[in-house]
């Protein structure tokens, strides 16, 4: 982990593009396990550290708290005086190193790197991929002796952002893990990982909370109307909490999708450029997620069901579902999934949005 920390004022920072290395790891800012994660963590830690796998693929829908789960497990594995349930004590020397953001046996591998425009090279910028350089440094670190004489833990997140060369370089370490070193790969889309990586990592799915528990948690964190937010987020509370900030923009996009024959493609896509240039890929990714959810609801309604992700737009979805051809809708959905996987490569987010909106409009001609 690196120098400098920004105070974490809410949990959203732990599941966004912010590099974990830049966050405040002090105990008063540390994100504790979320309520729906406690049973899974206790179950995994019950067998003791000797039973903990040397590689683990942590999966779950976006916004479920995979990273919060992983960093708490990492702290537990490094703790020198763990609690009876296996979680970190928070007071031993190892826990203090983690709290200071300086534990030599904890490594974070993320798609961030030094900003070439920063002459002093103290800031990080987002990268399209986790580069092979990061994995080579990880391998070298894994082969060093533990500084504290205990476990070493590395978190790779998100694993689907590994460059193909980096993913291949990681394979040997997964095949022949160094004793005492534990790798946790975090992924919301494990199906996009190399089959050889998936086959070498036991999988742990971070659970979704029940609707009741998620609603209570959101209300405790200031959400005035949790139901629609949870629906939009597919039941993921952290994503639902973050969705509060984009409700007005979502309403604009979904209103336009509800009127495909009069959809103003250029004007709607141009809204992406209202964001700062560095944020436009993230805005495009959010728009693609809205489109995927919308198309999924069209398919559900066409099959006689009810909209799951956009129940607040049921009246607009019903006539559209009756008018769209199922095969064309399926092809468009596949197109959206492909573009979601390519969003970090996009050079012109607005043009990608225009293409997707044109193809959407053509479904109803």
Q: Is 362 exposed, middle or buried (0-12, 13-18, 19+ CB in 10 A)?
A: exposed
pLDDT at 345: 84
Residue 6 C-beta-side C-alpha neighbours within 13 Å: 12
pLDDT at 335: 97
Provide the angle, in degrees to the nearest 10, between the axes of the packed helices 132-142 and 164-175. 20
pLDDT at 190: 95
φ and ψ of 159, to 5 deg: -65, -30
Q: What is the pLDDT along the chain (365 residues), one digit of tens a residue?
A: 332 222 223 444 445 445 555 554 444 456 789 999 998 898 888 877 778 899 999 999 999 999 999 999 999 999 999 999 899 999 999 998 988 888 999 999 999 887 766 556 557 788 889 999 999 999 999 999 999 999 999 999 999 999 999 999 999 899 988 999 999 999 999 999 999 999 999 999 999 999 999 999 999 999 989 999 999 999 999 999 999 999 999 999 999 999 999 999 999 999 999 999 989 999 999 999 999 999 999 999 999 999 999 999 999 999 999 999 999 999 999 999 999 999 988 889 999 999 999 999 999 99
**Residue whose C-alpha is closest to residue 81's, from 99, 98, 94, 68:** 94
Q: Which residues pair with 130 in a beta bridge?
A: 162
pLDDT at 122: 59
**Residue whose C-alpha is closest to residue 44's, from 82, 11, 12:** 82
CB atoms < 10 A from the CB of 298, how many? 25
pLDDT at 10: 41
Provide the angle, in degrees to the nearest 10, between the axes of the packed helices 349-362 and 280-302. 20
What is the chain's Cα-based Rg?
Answer: 22
pLDDT at 117: 60
Nearest-angstrom CA–CA distance, 156 and 135: 9
């Amino acid at each position: 982990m690196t120098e400098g920390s920004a105070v974490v004022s809410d949990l959203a920072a732990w599941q966004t593009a912010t590099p974990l290395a830049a966050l405040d790891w002090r105990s008063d800012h540390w994100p504790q396990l979320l309520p729906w994660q406690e049973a899974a963590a206790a179950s995994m830690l019950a067998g003791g550290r000797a039973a903990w796998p040397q590689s683990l693929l942590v999966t779950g829908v976006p916004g479920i708290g995979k990273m919060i789960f992983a960093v708490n497990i990492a702290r537990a594995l490094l703790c020198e005086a763990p609690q009876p349930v296996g979680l970190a004590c928070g007071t031993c020397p190892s826990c203090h190193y983690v709290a200071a953001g300086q534990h030599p046996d904890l490594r974070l591998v993320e798609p961030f790197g030094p900003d070439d425009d920063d002459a002093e090279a103290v800031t990080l910028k987002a990268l399209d991929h986790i580069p092979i350089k990061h994995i080579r440094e990880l391998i070298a670190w894994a082969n060093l002796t533990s500084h504290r004489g205990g476990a070493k833990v590395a978190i790779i997140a998100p694993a689907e952002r590994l460059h193909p060369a980096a993913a291949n370089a990681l394979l040997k370490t997964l095949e022949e893990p160094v004793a005492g070193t534990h790798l946790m790969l975090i992924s919301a889309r494990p199906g996009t990982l190399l089959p050889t990586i998936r086959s070498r990592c036991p999988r742990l799915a971070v659970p979704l909370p029940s609707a009741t528990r998620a609603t209570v948690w959101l209300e405790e964190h200031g959400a005035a109307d949790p139901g629609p937010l949870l629906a939009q987020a597919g039941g993921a509370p952290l994503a639902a909490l973050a969705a509060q900030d984009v409700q007005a923009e979502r309403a604009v996009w979904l209103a336009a999708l509800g009127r495909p024959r009069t959809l103003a493609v250029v004007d709607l896509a141009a809204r992406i450029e209202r964001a700062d240039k560095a944020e436009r890929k993230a805005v495009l990714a959010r728009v693609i997620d809205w489109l995927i959810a919308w198309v999924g609801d069209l398919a559900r309604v066409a099959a006689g069901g009810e909209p799951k992700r956009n129940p607040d737009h049921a009246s607009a979805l019903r006539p559209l579902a009756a008018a769209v051809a199922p095969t064309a809708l399926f092809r468009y959905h596949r197109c959206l999934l492909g573009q979601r996987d390519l969003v970090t490569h996009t050079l012109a987010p607005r043009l990608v949005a225009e293409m997707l909106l044109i193809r959407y409009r053509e479904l109803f001609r």
